[in-house]
Amino acid sequence: MFPTCEGSDFVHRQIKEFGQNAHGGKWHFDGSYFNYSFTATILFGVETPPDGHTMLASTYSSYSELSDETKALIEPLKAYHLDGYYTYPAFHPLIGTHPVTQKKCLLISDLNRMYKIVGKTEEESRPILEDILKVATGPKHVCSYKWKAGNILIWDNRCTMHKSGATASTKRRHHMRACTSDDPADLKLLEEARKIKLGISNFDTKTY
Protein backbone atom coordinates (compact mmCIF):
# COMPACT_ATOMS: atom_id res chain seq x y z
CA MET A 1 0.00 0.00 0.00
CA PHE A 2 1.27 3.47 -0.81
CA PRO A 3 1.92 5.80 2.13
CA THR A 4 -1.23 7.74 2.95
CA CYS A 5 -1.48 11.51 3.09
CA GLU A 6 -1.99 13.18 6.44
CA GLY A 7 -5.67 13.26 7.38
CA SER A 8 -6.79 10.53 4.95
CA ASP A 9 -6.50 6.74 4.80
CA PHE A 10 -7.54 6.69 1.15
CA VAL A 11 -5.35 9.29 -0.56
CA HIS A 12 -1.95 7.81 -1.34
CA ARG A 13 1.35 9.33 -2.37
CA GLN A 14 3.14 7.77 -5.34
CA ILE A 15 6.76 8.92 -5.53
CA LYS A 16 9.26 7.58 -8.04
CA GLU A 17 12.81 8.79 -7.64
CA PHE A 18 15.12 8.68 -10.65
CA GLY A 19 16.38 5.14 -11.15
CA GLN A 20 13.39 3.48 -9.45
CA ASN A 21 10.83 1.38 -11.31
CA ALA A 22 7.41 3.02 -11.39
CA HIS A 23 4.68 1.16 -9.55
CA GLY A 24 1.88 0.61 -12.03
CA GLY A 25 4.16 0.20 -15.03
CA LYS A 26 2.04 -2.69 -16.34
CA TRP A 27 -1.51 -2.52 -17.69
CA HIS A 28 -4.13 -2.89 -14.93
CA PHE A 29 -7.30 -1.55 -13.40
CA ASP A 30 -6.98 -0.29 -9.84
CA GLY A 31 -7.99 -2.67 -7.08
CA SER A 32 -8.24 -5.73 -9.33
CA TYR A 33 -6.82 -7.79 -6.46
CA PHE A 34 -10.01 -7.08 -4.45
CA ASN A 35 -13.34 -8.81 -5.12
CA TYR A 36 -14.94 -5.50 -6.06
CA SER A 37 -14.05 -2.66 -8.38
CA PHE A 38 -13.27 0.98 -7.67
CA THR A 39 -15.56 3.24 -9.68
CA ALA A 40 -13.00 5.91 -10.51
CA THR A 41 -9.35 6.81 -10.01
CA ILE A 42 -8.15 10.37 -9.41
CA LEU A 43 -4.50 11.36 -9.89
CA PHE A 44 -3.04 14.75 -8.96
CA GLY A 45 0.37 15.67 -10.32
CA VAL A 46 2.54 17.26 -7.62
CA GLU A 47 5.89 16.93 -9.38
CA THR A 48 5.99 15.67 -12.96
CA PRO A 49 9.00 15.11 -15.24
CA PRO A 50 8.85 16.80 -18.66
CA ASP A 51 8.24 13.49 -20.41
CA GLY A 52 5.92 12.01 -17.76
CA HIS A 53 2.70 10.48 -19.06
CA THR A 54 -0.02 7.97 -18.20
CA MET A 55 -1.37 5.49 -20.75
CA LEU A 56 -5.12 4.74 -20.79
CA ALA A 57 -6.92 1.95 -22.66
CA SER A 58 -10.67 1.74 -23.26
CA THR A 59 -11.97 -1.77 -22.60
CA TYR A 60 -15.31 -0.79 -24.19
CA SER A 61 -13.73 -0.46 -27.60
CA SER A 62 -11.41 -3.44 -27.22
CA TYR A 63 -14.36 -5.66 -26.28
CA SER A 64 -16.16 -4.52 -29.43
CA GLU A 65 -13.17 -5.54 -31.55
CA LEU A 66 -13.20 -9.16 -30.33
CA SER A 67 -14.66 -11.72 -32.70
CA ASP A 68 -18.01 -13.29 -31.82
CA GLU A 69 -16.16 -16.59 -31.38
CA THR A 70 -13.77 -15.09 -28.82
CA LYS A 71 -16.60 -13.34 -26.97
CA ALA A 72 -18.48 -16.64 -26.69
CA LEU A 73 -15.31 -18.40 -25.47
CA ILE A 74 -14.48 -15.97 -22.67
CA GLU A 75 -18.01 -14.90 -21.64
CA PRO A 76 -18.31 -17.51 -18.87
CA LEU A 77 -14.68 -17.28 -17.72
CA LYS A 78 -13.24 -15.61 -14.64
CA ALA A 79 -9.58 -14.86 -13.92
CA TYR A 80 -7.61 -14.68 -10.69
CA HIS A 81 -5.93 -11.37 -9.87
CA LEU A 82 -3.11 -11.12 -7.35
CA ASP A 83 -0.82 -8.31 -6.24
CA GLY A 84 2.43 -8.62 -4.32
CA TYR A 85 1.07 -6.44 -1.51
CA TYR A 86 -1.65 -8.94 -0.53
CA THR A 87 -1.60 -12.65 0.19
CA TYR A 88 -4.98 -13.70 -1.20
CA PRO A 89 -6.26 -13.52 -4.81
CA ALA A 90 -9.51 -12.06 -6.08
CA PHE A 91 -11.29 -13.09 -9.23
CA HIS A 92 -13.27 -11.17 -11.85
CA PRO A 93 -15.12 -12.16 -15.04
CA LEU A 94 -13.16 -11.47 -18.21
CA ILE A 95 -16.24 -9.69 -19.56
CA GLY A 96 -18.16 -7.29 -17.34
CA THR A 97 -21.25 -5.13 -17.76
CA HIS A 98 -20.83 -1.52 -16.70
CA PRO A 99 -23.44 -0.87 -13.96
CA VAL A 100 -24.33 2.60 -15.30
CA THR A 101 -24.09 2.35 -19.09
CA GLN A 102 -24.98 -1.38 -19.24
CA LYS A 103 -22.35 -1.72 -21.96
CA LYS A 104 -20.03 -4.72 -21.99
CA CYS A 105 -16.30 -4.27 -21.47
CA LEU A 106 -13.22 -6.29 -20.61
CA LEU A 107 -12.12 -6.60 -16.97
CA ILE A 108 -8.50 -7.52 -17.42
CA SER A 109 -4.97 -6.63 -16.29
CA ASP A 110 -1.46 -7.53 -17.36
CA LEU A 111 -0.36 -11.08 -16.61
CA ASN A 112 1.72 -9.88 -13.67
CA ARG A 113 -1.64 -9.44 -11.86
CA MET A 114 -4.14 -11.53 -13.83
CA TYR A 115 -2.27 -14.78 -13.64
CA LYS A 116 -4.73 -17.58 -14.51
CA ILE A 117 -8.31 -18.43 -15.44
CA VAL A 118 -10.47 -20.10 -12.79
CA GLY A 119 -10.62 -23.83 -13.55
CA LYS A 120 -7.61 -23.79 -15.89
CA THR A 121 -3.88 -24.15 -15.37
CA GLU A 122 -1.54 -21.22 -15.92
CA GLU A 123 -0.29 -22.95 -19.08
CA GLU A 124 -3.86 -23.28 -20.42
CA SER A 125 -4.74 -19.74 -19.38
CA ARG A 126 -1.78 -17.85 -20.78
CA PRO A 127 -2.52 -18.02 -24.56
CA ILE A 128 -6.14 -16.97 -23.99
CA LEU A 129 -5.21 -14.05 -21.75
CA GLU A 130 -2.31 -12.96 -23.95
CA ASP A 131 -4.56 -12.83 -27.03
CA ILE A 132 -7.14 -10.67 -25.23
CA LEU A 133 -4.46 -8.32 -23.84
CA LYS A 134 -2.91 -7.92 -27.28
CA VAL A 135 -6.24 -6.65 -28.60
CA ALA A 136 -6.99 -4.52 -25.53
CA THR A 137 -3.66 -2.68 -25.65
CA GLY A 138 -3.64 -2.11 -29.41
CA PRO A 139 -3.03 1.47 -30.63
CA LYS A 140 -6.66 2.12 -31.58
CA HIS A 141 -7.79 1.63 -27.96
CA VAL A 142 -4.99 3.54 -26.19
CA CYS A 143 -4.31 7.21 -25.52
CA SER A 144 -1.48 8.96 -23.68
CA TYR A 145 -1.97 11.76 -21.15
CA LYS A 146 1.02 14.09 -20.80
CA TRP A 147 1.45 15.45 -17.28
CA LYS A 148 2.03 18.96 -16.03
CA ALA A 149 2.40 19.80 -12.34
CA GLY A 150 -0.97 20.74 -10.86
CA ASN A 151 -3.01 18.73 -13.36
CA ILE A 152 -5.71 16.27 -12.28
CA LEU A 153 -6.61 13.16 -14.26
CA ILE A 154 -9.83 11.20 -13.58
CA TRP A 155 -11.00 8.04 -15.33
CA ASP A 156 -13.73 5.42 -15.00
CA ASN A 157 -11.90 2.45 -13.49
CA ARG A 158 -14.66 0.01 -14.50
CA CYS A 159 -13.98 0.29 -18.23
CA THR A 160 -10.41 1.64 -18.41
CA MET A 161 -7.00 0.06 -17.96
CA HIS A 162 -3.97 2.24 -17.35
CA LYS A 163 -0.25 2.16 -16.74
CA SER A 164 2.59 4.56 -16.00
CA GLY A 165 4.35 5.74 -19.13
CA ALA A 166 8.07 5.11 -19.37
CA THR A 167 10.23 8.12 -18.66
CA ALA A 168 13.91 8.80 -19.21
CA SER A 169 13.82 11.96 -17.12
CA THR A 170 16.27 12.61 -14.31
CA LYS A 171 13.50 14.26 -12.30
CA ARG A 172 11.27 12.43 -9.86
CA ARG A 173 7.57 11.72 -10.32
CA HIS A 174 5.25 12.57 -7.40
CA HIS A 175 1.49 11.99 -7.67
CA MET A 176 -1.34 11.79 -5.15
CA ARG A 177 -3.96 9.13 -5.86
CA ALA A 178 -7.48 8.44 -4.62
CA CYS A 179 -10.02 5.82 -5.69
CA THR A 180 -13.79 6.09 -5.31
CA SER A 181 -16.51 3.52 -4.68
CA ASP A 182 -20.31 3.44 -4.87
CA ASP A 183 -20.54 1.07 -1.90
CA PRO A 184 -19.45 2.08 1.65
CA ALA A 185 -18.82 -1.61 2.36
CA ASP A 186 -15.88 -1.44 -0.05
CA LEU A 187 -14.09 0.93 2.29
CA LYS A 188 -14.31 -1.68 5.04
CA LEU A 189 -12.73 -4.23 2.71
CA LEU A 190 -10.00 -1.77 1.81
CA GLU A 191 -9.26 -1.20 5.48
CA GLU A 192 -9.11 -4.98 6.01
CA ALA A 193 -6.63 -5.25 3.14
CA ARG A 194 -4.51 -2.52 4.74
CA LYS A 195 -4.44 -4.54 7.99
CA ILE A 196 -3.40 -7.64 6.08
CA LYS A 197 -0.49 -5.68 4.58
CA LEU A 198 0.52 -4.57 8.09
CA GLY A 199 0.15 -8.09 9.46
CA ILE A 200 -2.51 -7.14 12.03
CA SER A 201 -5.53 -8.91 10.52
CA ASN A 202 -7.27 -12.17 11.44
CA PHE A 203 -8.60 -12.49 7.87
CA ASP A 204 -8.54 -16.16 6.85
CA THR A 205 -6.51 -16.45 3.66
CA LYS A 206 -6.42 -20.25 3.62
CA THR A 207 -9.76 -20.49 1.78
CA TYR A 208 -8.04 -19.02 -1.29
**pLDDT grade, residue 205 (50/70/90)?**
very low
Highest mean pLDDT among 66-75, 106-115, 190-199: 66-75
The model's pLDDT over 69-81, given as tens digits with 9 standing for 90+, comes to 999 999 999 999 8
Q: Which of 25-39, 85-99, 156-170, 189-203 has the lowest mean pLDDT?
A: 189-203
pLDDT band of residue 194 (cuts 50, 70, 90) is low
Reply yes or no on whether the pLDDT at 7 is more than 50: no
Residue with the larger pLDDT of the pair 70 and 34: 70
Q: For residue range 130-185, what is the model confidence (pLDDT) as tens digits?
A: 999 999 999 999 999 999 999 999 999 999 999 988 655 566 778 888 888 776 55
Predicted structure pTM score: 0.79
Say yes or no to pLDDT of 203 above 50: no
Per-residue pLDDT at 162: 95
How much is the pLDDT for 154? Answer: 95
**In the chain, what percentage of residues exceed pLDDT 90?**
49
The rounded mean pLDDT for the chain is: 79
- Nearest-angstrom CA–CA distance, 14 and 60: 28
Please enumerate in sequence order all residues whose Cβ is within 8 A of that of 205, keeping only pairs 6 or more positions apart, or say none.
87, 88, 196
- Give the pLDDT confidence score for residue 112 in this predicted structure: 85
pLDDT at 50: 81
| 167 vs 82, more confident | 82
pLDDT band at 191 (very low <50, low <70, confident <90, very high): low
